[in-house]
Each structure stands twice: as structure tokens, then as C-alpha cells.
Amino acid sequence: MEKFRFFNSTEADIRDYTAADYAEYFGLFLSDGLYTENGNAGLRVVTGTGLSCGIETGYALIRGYMYHNDALLTNSLSAADVFLDRIDRVVLRFDEVAREIRITIKKGTAASSPVAPALTVTATVKELGLAQIRIKKGVTVLSAADITDERLTSAGLVSSLISIPAAEMWNVWNSSLAAIQATWDTWFATIQNTIGNRLAVGDTAPTNPIAGDVWMKTGV
């Protein structure tokens, strides 16, 4: 089936487009990730009051859908375990079924060697990791040292997906070069020995000399 978009509607030809149509369009040339502003990636996770964290402003793109947080967003963290540490994960969660993109705190499991919850990636859900937060046993206040920024290692930055078909371009270049070489060889063959500025060295004068030839006579 042929598809083409986007065109204005007319009374005789109504054109309806969905959000998915636009998301498909943007997803063709922009990767999932965070946008930068003034050289800095947005949505940085910082400490909040007590056992809470804040997410700074920023933009993101997931599967062609845009997210924007325009003010410091505060999220409370679950109380610390009495005996064991745990690692929570701050993620930006895209949910196509729920039709939303939101900051979510994924609570880890307390353990002697805790690990962060895994990111969920399915056909309808995708999470970008923003930070891991270690909730140490018995704490009631979060410190900056407890936050591991993973925006660049997990979420990444939005970049262009437009790529150059190098192999195809190389084949075209080689074909063109071969045609140019063949044309050159044919032309050179037709003028060879018909123009001057040739150099001859020997005892006797060259045959069929042409104006502009140079003869360097040897011997006495």
C-alpha cells in the first residue's frame, strides 16, 4: 500500500492524520534520547528535601513522541530498609497504551549487593534511564553522592538517524570513474603522436617529427 503525508484537507478530500503518523515521521530521522540546551543535557536528577529527588527541566524524544518538563519535578522515595541498601532507578517511561510519557521511580530490592531495576522495553513501553539512586540502610536524607547520573550512558542524546548509503554511493562512483577512464583512454589514443613537445634521444633524427618536438642528439 502506498502512503503519503502530510497534505491539507479539502471539502472534497478530507485528510485525517493521527499522532502515530507524526511519530512515525519524526522517528525516521531522530533517535530516542534527551535534547541539550546551551550545551547541557536536560532532566538531571538532583537531591531533594529529605528522602526525595528532583528532576530538572528538559526535553526528550521517545519513539517519535516529545516529552517536556518545564519546572523542577520532585519525587518522593520509599523509606530506606533498616538492614540493607537498595538501588532505585529514575526513568523516563513511554507508554503508548496509556498515551503518556512520565518520570517514574522504579524501586529496587534491598540486598547485601543490590542492583538497579532493569529498564523495560516492549512494543508499547520504553524506558530511558536518567539516574540510579542508592538508598542506604536507615537513611532519611539523600546525598548527592548517592546519585549516579546515567543520562548519557543509558538515555543518550537525540541525534540524526539520517545515514549516507556509502556502499551504493561507492558503486556509483566506481561506475562513473570507469566511464571517465574509458573516455580518457579513447581520447588520448586519438591524439597520441599528433601533438608536439615530445622528447627524443639518439644519434639519428626521429621520424615524422612534429613542430614542438625536442631531439637530443647523442654521439659526435
For residue 97, name the pLDDT band (cuts at 50, 70, 90): very high
Structural contact between residues 140 and 132, judged by C-beta atoms closer than 8 angstroms: no
State the Cα–Cα distance between residues 129 and 117, nearest whole angstrom. Answer: 10
Between the CA atoms of 96, 98, 103 and 105, what dihedral angle is there, to the nearest 10 degrees? -110
For residue 193, name the pLDDT band (cuts at 50, 70, 90): low
Percent of the chain residues past pLDDT 70, beyond the cut: 96
DSSP 8-state symbol, 138: T
Domains plus CATH for the chain?
Answer: 19-155 (2.60.520.10), 166-217 (no CATH)
**50-65: pLDDT as tens digits:** 999 999 999 999 999 9
**129-173: pLDDT as tens digits:** 999 999 999 999 999 999 999 999 999 999 987 777 777 778 888
